[in-house]
Amino acid sequence: MRRKSKAKLRKLLDEMCQFIRELEPKAQILRVIPHQLYEDDDAWIEVLLPYREWNRKAERISDAVYKRVWEIEMEHGYFIGVSLRTLDEVKAEAR
């Protein structure tokens, strides 16, 4: 297994955030955690999509994001966890 580089991980996180913004310019990147948060990940990104609830557009964004997560893992060996949430999901958590 090759050694993982923090600089490479940061570059991949930046690329992933840019990719999300290209898919949905109004998406808010809530947090980028450039280290392991859970057992199997290398980093984590929390994203708020500008929709009240999960819809077809959110589904398309989700499919594209998770495909890119898989590609990064296959190409570079880093697993970047991404949490995509809608406004209603965030409101429900706040209660």
Distance (Å, whole) CA 28 – CA 47: 6
Reported pTM: 0.90
* Residue 2 binned pLDDT confidence (cut-offs 50, 70, 90): low
Question: What number is the average pLDDT over the span 31-48?
Answer: 91
For residue 45, what are the β-bridge partners? 32, 82
Question: CA-to-CA distance for 68 and 52, rounded, in angstroms?
Answer: 24
Average pLDDT over residues 38-63: 94
Tell whether domain 16-94 is in CATH 3.30.300. Answer: yes
Sign for the CA dihedral angle at 60, 54, 35, 42 comes to negative
β-bridge pairing 80-85 and 43-48: parallel
Domain ranges of the chain: 16-94
Task: Give the mean model confidence (pLDDT) for residues 69-93.
Answer: 94
Report pLDDT for 39.
82
User: From CA 6, how far away is CA 59, in angstroms rounded?
Assistant: 31
